[in-house]
Structure formats: structure tokens, C-alpha cells
Chains A and B, each alone.
Chain A
């Protein structure tokens, strides 16, 4: 029996795991005794990347982050001994990654316009040279999160090189200021057990594990978005959570793009999770051209993009959310305020559902797995303002789009998300059809932060801010009630004091809440402008009461020339000067006085 292998020769190959079943992105692998839960594996000669998502006796279930077409039973699988991780270091800013942190610019450069499988590259560029300035010296005691030194990562971002958790001890060596690549060792740390660890400008971190911090803080500083309906009525805070649910075409993506451009966060992580390729291209085209209103540098210099579009593998879509949030936490740990957009969390939930379906798990509502709620909770729980390990303040704000089937908010993803977020910006199909944008329904939306941010507004912008917004909201709510009558009887049937509410609400809706993302001036409104604009509209509204009181027909006041001026304010003024608003105020006074005067004269 010379040409048949002996038992001993067979043994080692037999114990190597092989694929036993393939169904879409899910593989079964046996024997699996050497694999651990969430371990990364490579499948076959093409070394397709996958992750162990369940272990049952000797069988592992693996989700593969690439197309599995052509994989055969018997294909060899190699465990990598570590869980799905991201690389954290300089070079993240301005880069676009897929859901498992493959660098898409590099992939295009190497392999062309289409994403081919099995083609990988280091997430962070190994050849790029960075200027490192040390902040510590040899002999210093370091703990996790200590800032070893700094790298100017972009014109906006100073990258703080952190001691990774688990590498605390005594700094044995640190390189002098100079130019280094990611492969260079820049410091040696001796941990209490006596091991010496060489540290580089980057380290790795498992994506499904929250990064540590010293303690959680209660966030109270608003995250200014420059979008009036949000900042004024449904404000977000640095470290807060928000959901934007809405049917297709109601404005989720545009809202998130607006936030990507204009929020006053230090860092933006934008995740295109199972959405359109062109939308990512749009961001890639816009951000290098637009300037950050604070630093006057291109916005791309503070942004990290993750694109796992709807046609890219569904398992990598599931991972993209975690890749994004881990990167966000990393910049938080440097003491930055990070805002993360996830468009759309529903596509992530659907990826969960698809994989769960292939595993033949017992579904809960609408085919979603029973753990949907706990996964959502765990995701939003990673938001927050914290004191970092190096005693700085940093935050991660999460803003998730939700795409409910048929626009019906009673479906599982919207319902569960609602339980875990503080801001709910409900988008409205009717408003969107009338091209009323942002189509945020002010009656259905809410924010748990309105009162928390009040002190900031009173101190930084103007006192009386809260009263002003509450007054405006009251007008809108009364208007909503009156609209029921209007629907049945028409506006003409209402007495003038009620008409005044309707007209006031109209001004608020058209000249304040409505805001065009595509108008060069209107696209962003500073807090100052928001205040001045709201103030002037409500002032006019107040003066209308005098008109109604003396029974001058309301329409005569609405035909005053100043009304057109009010309409134009949002398009013409940036709000950095209050003079134009004062001038309008005087014009209101003048024209109303004249009207009253005429009336007075006529009635004698």
C-alpha cells in the first residue's frame, strides 16, 4: 500500500477545518474545536475573510465578508487566532473604507474600478511618513490612554498617539521628534510582568468590544448642526443619541450629509451602511471642496468614511457599524467630540436578519432575530460623553437613520430604536412630497435634551432662548389644532385672532423651519442667526395682535412690504451681524404704526 497515505500522515490534514456547507454568505466549518467565537478565519486559496459567529459541538458557523460564489465543500479554512479588529492610527482621516476597513482608494488604485474579492490591503498606509512629536520621556510611568505624542494628521486634526489598553507600565524608550512610518517602533513599554512591548503609531482593537474610558459624564453641551428645526426644537448634545426614521425619499441621507458638513464636532465618521454608491461618491466629491466654518479647512480633513453599499457583501455591512463606532471611540479617547452617522441602521438590522435566517434561528418579529433589540441597545450605548483614560473630555454622538418598510414607524427596528435614543427626528412623507424640507414633523419629533442645552444658549447666544422656542412651538401646536377646522371649513371661516395663529405658524414654517440644503447661504444657520430669525418672526407675530385687536383685517398686515423682507432673511443673512435684523424690526414698527394710524384716522 505504498501510494496510499498512512494514518499518521493523514492526521494533521484531517484536523484542519474545512467548509462543509455554503449558503450565501454563511458557511459551516468542521472540525471547529480549535476555533473560538468571533475569531477571524481565512477561507480557501483566495483567503476570503470571515468571522466565526456560532460554535456548536464541532461545527462552526462563519459569516464571510466577501462573495462566496464558487466556494466548495472541502475548501480549507484557517483560523487567524484573533477577533475582527480595526487598525487605529494616523491615516484614518480622509480615508474611505469598506465595512471591514479595507481601504477603498487603495483597492481602486491596485485592482481597478470594481471591487474584487480576496483583494485586501493594509487599512492604514504603511509607506506614508508622519511627523511625530513625543510628549513623554523615557522613565515615565504610563497607563492606558496616556498620550505618548502627537502627529499632525490633517490640517484640522492633531492625532494623539495613545498607549493602548493592556500596555501600561514604564516607558523604557521613546524616539525623538522626527519622521516615522506606521511600521516603526516609536516606544518601548515595560509592563509590570517584565515584558517589553514595542509600540507603533497604530494599534489594533476588536470592533465588537467597547473601548475603555475613566467615567461617563452627563452631556449638556449642544451639538450645533446649523439646521434650525433641529437646533431650535429638537437639539442634540455632544455625546447624545438621535434617530432619523423616514420612508424612502423623505430626507434621511440629506439630513445626515448636512450634519456631516456643518456640525461642530471635531471628527465625523460617516457610515454608508447598505445604501447607494452614488451617495458615497457625492460625499467624496463635496467634502474636499467645502470649508469647515470654524477652521476654514476642507471638511474632508476631519472626516472618515465607511462605505459598504447595498451591493457589497451583507456580512461586511453588518460589521460596518462596529468598524465605524470603534474608530469613533478611538478619537473620543484622544479627547475629541466625534459625531457618527449611520445610514441606514435598518440595512444593518436586515443584514442581521439575513444571516440569522441562514442560520435557521427562531425569528421574532417580521423575521428579525430575537436579539435585534439587545444589539441595537448595545450600539447606542456606545455613545456618550466621557472622561477619557487620560482625563480629557471626549464624546461620541450617534445619529442613526432608520428606514421603516412602507414608512410605517410601528415596525421592529423603529420601535426598538425609539427605546434607546433621546432624539427622534421623525420624517414625514407628506411634507417631503410637498418639497417641504427638512421634512421633520415637529409634532411627532422630540428631544430629551431641550432643557439641558438651555443654559448654553442663554450664555452663548441670548437669554430668553427657551421661552422663545417654547412660544414658537406653542404657535405651531395651536396651528395644528386649528388645521383640523381649516380642513373642514376653510381658513376663511376662522376669526382673525385664530387666523393670526395660522399666519404666524406659516411664517415659522416657511421662513424659519424650512431650510434648503442646496442654497449656499441657507444650508447652514449659526446659532446667532437662528436666534435673530426666530426673534424677528415672533416679534412680527406679536405686533399682529395689535392689528387684530382693533379689527383691521389681518390680510392688510400680511401684504405689508416688510413681510417679503422677512421671507428673504434666511437666504440673505448669515447672522454674524444683528444690524439687518434691527433694520427689519424698525421697518415692522413703522409699517404697523402706519397701518394703525390709517385705521385710527379712518374710523373717525
Chain B
């Protein structure tokens, strides 16, 4: 068993070993491997001649540790054959073979179509973008959703995650963004890459239907690792998806929107492998390199100066226990360019989308808005909404202690502002596509509920120009 068989693959000789030293969770240990490299792709051949994929996690002169994406269930220590392919995990992609297609989490077609054959193979790990080559993202994407466009603006090439909780409407929100995003306006030049990691069948199907109904399906590639698919496979799915996205954006010049869901499942798979390896964990059992690992995915968004396309990422994650300080949302927030935070209290008030704007943020907003992009008053009116809503929430707390009757007249105005803000600005239908002008006008109607001397974030000139529709907000019908 110690001697490798040499077979010849398309790229030259392939090393094959028979028999395993040890199987430990998702990991295999093979002894006496010669000539294989770190991070190399591996095929494991089961007795019934099925092939599972894996990669080398560490290797020394005598042992190679391999993670098996499809799990180790059913593998036999004596009969399993392990082939080292001599290259990292690669996919060969081409535009024709990608778009309008459905694949599993490792890139194998699920739609009966052809496997990838054209195009040159690409390492799914990608390469870091030279910061000098990046173009600063600053093109406004209108999503038609007021809480996003008005207060947490998305721009082309941004990575803006949705922090959600289990059972909240993150899927509906993501699907609505895909349908409405103006990025998708010019027909040929856009693509959607959808990568599912451990999501339920019905959720994935919901997305597919939504893409179909809005007529974008032919521009979508779906990579599906579903809830009952092997967990470790989730580690490779987003890498395949992003490799495809980079190809479409930077070689084909397309504007690509990537949805990664659910990153929490991805992180749990990473933890599982780390634990099996016996690594020293940092917080909550997650490996110390979780930050770097997530960054190796999230940083694969952006624009380049010398190439026309863009990769915009909307990762979705569910916060365990709705806890934003949990390592998964925490480290994500440290890497991404802001976050859209969904809130259970708002959801209970039947507000869709239940976006809590206070902890939400788009860091690229200030560059994507303003005269020539959206409107000159955008930044200040957004700041004013934030400040007023933050204050109103404080007053709500006070009112719940001393009673609503005993607060000052101004404070009462803040309470009606907050109510109108939630019911009219945040709340909208899932097919309601507001223009940026509609969103900003609505904002002005809302701040008109407050006395002018409270509007410290607005310039007098702006109030003169835009703040004319005093009091009309409360009369607006809510639907």
C-alpha cells in the first residue's frame, strides 16, 4: 500500500495511494505520500468507483492530512484509493457553460447540462487584487428599497452583507434586491451568481422562482449546497462561485451580483474541520484564522481600473441568537463595507423589510451619493433621519418608564416621527420599487414632523429647497 501507482492524467502523472492511516470526522490521514503538495486537489475513489473530492490541509514527509468535501461516511481504511492531482482545486469556466445553469456545491451540473469543459482552469482560491489596481467603488445602485437607497446606499463593487436571524425575511429581501437593482438594467451586461451553503430546498427553490419570474434566470448561475448536502463541501462552494464571478466580471466585463447564503453554515463547516484537526480555537470554538478565511472570500469583490466589470457581493448570514457580537457577524462586519441588519422587533410589527437602520451601515455611501449621483441633499437628510430615529428610540425608552403623557411636546413629536418612519419609510411591499427621488422626498416629509430647530443635520438652504411639504407625511396612505 505504501507504493503509489502512477497513472497518467491529462496534466501528467497522477499519484494514487491505496489505504488510509486514519479517518477522523471529515479528515483523512494518508501515510507515506511522496510528491504531493500543500493545498493540492485530491480525488478519493470509493470501492464502488465513485469519486469524492478533497484537498490537502497539511503535509509532511510522511503524512498528508486531507479534508473530504463530500464527507468520509462509507470510506474504508483499506480499500479507499487517494489520488493527488498535482494542482489546487480548479474549475474551467466559460460564459456559455455558466449562465442559466444550476450546479451542485462543487460545480457539478444538476440540470442535466454539460460539465465545464471550455475555458482554462482557474484556481478557486483566486488571487488577491493588487490595491493599486482597484477602482474605488462609487456607482450608485438603486435597489428601490428606501432603507437601503436612502440610508445605506449600495454601490457597484461593494460587499454589503445582510445580518439576519432565523426566520426573518432575508431571502425575500435579497430576492427583491436582485429583481429591482438598477445594476441589472442593461440586459446583457449583468449576471447573478447565487451560492447556497446549507440552505433548505424550499429556500433555494424560492430564489430560483423569483429569478424566473423576473426574467433574469438566463443570466443566473446557481451553485447549490443544500441543507442535506455534505457540510465540508460548503467550504468550496463560495470559492467556486466567486471564481465564476471574477471570470464574468473581469474577463467578460459583466456586472456581477453575488449572493452568498448562509455564511453561518459556511463558518460552522470551517469550525468542524478545525476541531477535527485538533486546532486551538479562539472565540466560541471558531478557529483563530476565521477572519482571514472570511476575508479571502469577501475581498473578492470590487472594481478594477483597467477592466469594465464589477463584482458586488451580498452575503447573507443568520446571527446565532440574534447576537451581533457573535464571531460570525462580528468578523464579517470587520471585513465588509457595512451591513444591513434585520430586526425581530420590527418584523413583529409586521414591517417588511425589517431593516434596523441604526446598526446598519454602508461605508461606501458617502462616495456613491450626492450631486451627479443621487441628490445634493442625500447625505444630510440621511444623517438627519439617523439622528432623529436614534433620538426617538431613546425617548421611547423614556416614555415606557414615565408614561407617554408625561414627556415633553417635542418628545411626543419624535414618537410620531418614529412611527411614521417605520410605517412609511421602512415598510414597503416586496414588489414596490421606489426611485431615489421618491425615497428622499419621503424622508423630507418625515422630518417635517419635527420642529425646525431640531433639524441640526440639515443646512438652512436645504430646508428651504426641499423642506416645503410640511405635515403632509401623516396624511399619506400607508399602503
Contacts and interface: CB of A to CB of B under 8 A. Distances in A.
Interface string A333-362: 000000000000001001001100100000
Interface string B94-129: 000000000000000000000000000001011111
Contact of B325 (A108, A284, A310, A406): A406
A107 interface: yes
A71 B38 contact: yes
A277 B37 contact: no
A179 to B, nearest CB: 27
Given A434-B387, A487-B397, A408 B130 contact: no
Interface stretch (A5-13, A148-156, A388-396, A489-497): A489-497
A595 interface: no
A276 B335 contact: yes
Interface in B395-423: 397-398, 401-402, 406-408, 411
A342 to B, nearest CB: 15
Contacts of B366: 518
Given A21-B59, A108-B132, A278-B337, A311 B300 contact: yes
Contact of B402 (A357, A408, A490): A490
A571 B456 CA distance: 12
B127 A114 contact: yes
Contacts of A36: none
A311 B363 CA distance: 19
Contacts, number: 219
A314 B288 contact: no
A282 B60 CA distance: 42
B77 interface: no
Contacts of B87: 70
Interface stretch (B3-11, B225-233, B279-287): B279-287
B408 A492 contact: yes
Size category of the A interface is 35 or more
A564 interface: yes
Interface string A8-46: 000000000000111110001000000000000000000
Nearest to A23: B58
Given A70-B39, A115-B128, A488 B280 contact: no
Nearest to A114: B127
A287 to B, nearest CB: 12
A68 B38 contact: yes
A73 B280 CA distance: 25
Given A108-B133, A278-B137, A407-B325, A490 B411 contact: yes
B61 interface: yes
Nearest to B394: A487
Interface stretch (B182-190, B291-299, B428-436, B439-447): B291-299
B402 A489 contact: yes
A285 B136 contact: yes
A278 B312 CA distance: 13
Nearest to A431: B390
Given A69-B38, A72-B35, A284-B131, A310 B299 contact: yes
A56 interface: no
A69 B128 CA distance: 14
B95 to A, nearest CB: 20
B288 A353 contact: yes
Given A72-B37, A249-B338, A354-B288, A490 B383 contact: no
B338 A488 contact: no
A291 B367 CA distance: 19
Q: Which residue, of B291, B292, B326, has the highest number of chain A Cβ atoms within 10 A?
A: B292
Interface in A265-312: 272, 274, 276-278, 280-282, 284-285, 307, 309-312
B304 A113 contact: yes
Contacts of B394: 487
Contacts of B345: none
B387 A113 contact: no
Residue from the set A22, A114, A281, A363 with the largest chain B CB neighbour count within 10 Å: A281
B129 A277 contact: yes
Nearest to B331: A405
B42 to A, nearest CB: 13
B283 A405 contact: yes
Given A72-B35, A72-B36, A277-B131, A249 B299 contact: no
A105 interface: yes
A413 to B, nearest CB: 12
A22 B130 contact: no
B460 interface: yes
A418 B178 CA distance: 45
A126 interface: no
B134 interface: yes
B466 interface: no
B122 to A, nearest CB: 11
A249 B363 contact: yes
B131 A307 contact: yes
Interface string B302-330: 10101100000000000000000111001
Most buried by B among A23, A366, A405, A559: A405
5 contacts: A20-B61, A107-B130, A367-B280, A435-B390, A487-B394
Interface of A: 20-24, 28, 67-74, 96, 104-105, 107-108, 112-116, 247-249, 272, 274, 276-278, 280-282, 284-285, 307, 309-312, 314, 347, 350, 353-354, 357, 363, 366-367, 403, 405-408, 433-436, 486-492, 510, 518, 558-559, 563-564, 567-568, 571
Given A69-B38, A115-B128, A280-B131, 10 more contacts: A70-B40, A114-B129, A247-B330, A276-B335, A347-B291, A357-B280, A357-B289, A367-B288, A435-B383, A487-B401
Q: List 7 tightest A-B contacts by C-beta distance, closest first.
A: A406-B325, A310-B295, A21-B60, A434-B390, A113-B133, A248-B333, A311-B299
